[in-house]
C-alpha cells in the first residue's frame, strides 16, 4: 500500500513538473497598455467671451447712430452712446473677438490641434505662446486665421468710421434747424457724464454672448471670411491668434485665465483709443451749441475710434473723397487731433 501511494505521488509530481515546463514554453501574455488620454476640447473662458460680446455691443450700437437729429435729446443720446466704452475693455474685447474669429478657420484649428494629442507637447506649445504670442505665427494655418481676423476687425472699424463721417456731415447739415444753434444746457454735466461712461465697463448682449460661445466650438458659424494674409501682423492680430491657439490646446479656460488675460492687451492700440477719448473731452469742453456736440460725436467718438480699430487690425483707412462742408463749427478748430 505504501508503495502505491509513493508511486501516485511521484506521478503527480511529474505531472506538475511537466505542466511547469509547458507553461515556461508558452508565449507570455501581452502587457495591457492604457490608451493615451483624449486631447482636451477647444474651449475659451466665458469671461473672455464676455469681453468679445461687450466689444461687439459697442460696435453695433455706436455704428447704428443715425445722422438724422431731430432735436437736442437725440444729440445728447448720441453723445452718450458714442462715449460709452472704456478703452482698455474695448481693446480686450477686440482681441477676444479676434480670437473667436480665428477659431473659425478649420485649417488653423487643425494646425494647432496636431500638438494637442501629446500632453507634454501640448503644454510646451502653450507655454511658448504664453511667453511670446508671436510664436503662433509658425503654426500651420496661421496666415488664413490672420486674414480672417484682419477682415473682421477691419469691417468693424469701417462701420464706425462710416457712421462717424455721416454724423460729422450732419454737424453742418443740422445747422439749418434753429434748435441746433442754441447752447447745450448743463454743458459741464454732460462732459462729466461722458467721462464717467468712458470709465465704466459694459456688459455684452446676451444673445451675442451665446452666439460667440457657440462659435468657439463650431468653426464657420460666425459667417466671417478673409483672404490669407502674410506677416508681419499687428500685435492685436497676433494676440487674437495666440488666444485662439491656447483655446484649441485647452489652455484658455477659467483655470488658465491668469495667463490669458495679459495677452488681451496692446500698449500701442490702447494709446490710440485713449487719445480718442482725450480729444472727445476737449471737444465737448469747448462745444456750446448742439451742432458742435454733433461734430464732437462724429469725429472723436466714432471716426477716431474707427480709425483706431482699423489701425490695430493693420487695415488701411478707406480713401475719403473730397467733400465740401458748408459751415465750420467752432469746435472744429479746438480739439487736439488734427485728423478729420
pLDDT, tens only, 142-165 = 999 999 999 999 999 999 999 999
Burial class (CB in 10 A: 0-12, 13-18, 19+), 328: exposed
Question: Which pLDDT band, with edges at 50, 70 and 90, does 335 fall under?
Answer: very low
93: domain range?
48-318+325-333
Model-level pTM?
Answer: 0.85
* Grid cell 488681451 in the structure block, residue: 264
Question: Which pLDDT band, with edges at 50, 70 and 90, does 313 fall under?
Answer: very high
Model confidence pLDDT, tens digit, residues 41-90: 999 999 999 999 999 999 999 999 999 999 999 999 999 999 999 999 99
38 falls within a domain: no
3 falls within a domain: no
Question: Which pLDDT band, with edges at 50, 70 and 90, does 311 fall under?
Answer: very high
Across the range 118-124, mean pLDDT stands at 95
The pLDDT mean for the chain works out to 89
217 falls within a domain: yes
300 falls within a domain: yes
CB neighbours of residue 11 within 10 Å: 10
253 falls within a domain: yes
Across the range 227-231, mean pLDDT stands at 94
Model confidence pLDDT, tens digit, residues 251-300: 999 999 999 999 999 999 999 999 999 999 999 999 999 999 999 999 99
34 falls within a domain: no
Question: What pLDDT shows up at residue 320?
Answer: 73
Question: Which pLDDT band, with edges at 50, 70 and 90, does 23 fall under?
Answer: low
Q: What is the dihedral of CA 276, 337, 60, 201, to 10 degrees?
A: 10
Q: How many domains does the chain have?
A: 1
The CA radius of gyration of the chain, in Å to the nearest whole number, is: 31
92 falls within a domain: yes
5 falls within a domain: no
Amino acid at each position: 500500500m505504501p508503495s502505491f501511494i509513493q508511486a501516485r505521488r511521484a506521478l503527480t509530481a511529474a505531472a506538475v513538473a511537466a505542466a511547469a515546463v509547458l507553461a515556461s514554453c508558452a508565449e507570455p501574455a501581452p502587457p495591457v497598455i492604457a490608451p493615451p488620454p483624449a486631447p482636451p476640447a477647444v474651449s475659451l473662458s466665458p469671461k473672455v467671451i464676455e469681453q468679445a460680446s461687450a466689444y461687439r455691443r459697442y460696435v453695433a450700437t455706436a455704428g447704428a447712430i443715425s445722422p438724422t437729429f431731430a432735436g437736442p435729446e437725440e444729440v445728447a443720446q448720441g453723445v452718450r452712446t458714442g462715449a460709452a466704452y472704456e478703452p482698455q475693455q474695448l481693446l480686450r474685447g477686440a482681441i477676444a473677438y479676434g480670437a473667436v474669429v480665428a477659431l473659425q478657420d478649420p485649417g488653423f484649428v487643425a494646425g494647432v490641434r496636431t500638438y494637442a494629442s501629446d500632453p507634454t507637447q501640448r503644454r510646451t506649445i502653450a507655454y511658448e505662446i504664453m511667453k511670446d504670442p508671436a510664436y503662433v505665427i509658425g503654426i500651420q494655418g496661421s496666415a488664413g486665421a490672420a486674414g480672417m481676423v484682419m477682415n473682421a476687425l477691419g469691417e468693424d472699424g469701417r462701420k464706425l468710421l462710416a457712421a462717424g463721417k455721416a454724423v460729422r456731415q450732419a454737424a453742418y447739415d443740422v445747422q439749418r434747424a434753429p434748435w441746433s444753434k442754441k447752447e447745450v444746457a448743463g454743458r459741464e454735466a454732460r462732459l462729466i457724464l461722458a467721462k464717467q461712461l468712458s470709465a465704466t465697463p459694459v456688459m455684452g448682449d446676451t444673445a451675442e454672448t451665446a452666439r460667440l460661445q457657440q462659435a468657439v466650438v463650431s468653426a464657420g458659424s460666425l459667417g466671417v471670411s478673409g483672404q490669407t494674409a502674410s506677416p508681419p501682423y499687428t500685435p492685436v492680430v497676433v494676440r487674437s491668434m495666440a488666444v485662439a491657439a491656447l483655446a484649441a490646446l485647452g489652455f484658455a479656460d477659467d483655470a488658465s485665465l491668469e495667463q490669458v488675460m495679459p495677452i488681451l492687451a496692446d500698449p500701442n492700440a490702447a494709446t490710440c483709443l485713449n487719445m480718442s477719448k482725450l480729444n472727445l473731452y476737449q471737444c465737448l469742453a469747448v462745444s456750446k451749441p448742439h451742432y458742435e456736440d454733433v461734430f464732437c460725436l462724429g469725429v472723436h467718438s466714432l471716426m477716431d475710434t474707427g480709425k483706431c480699430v482699423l489701425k490695430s487690425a493693420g487695415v488701411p483707412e478707406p480713401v475719403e473723397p473730397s467733400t465740401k462742408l458748408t459751415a465750420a463749427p467752432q469746435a472744429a478748430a479746438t480739439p487736439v487731433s488734427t485728423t478729420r
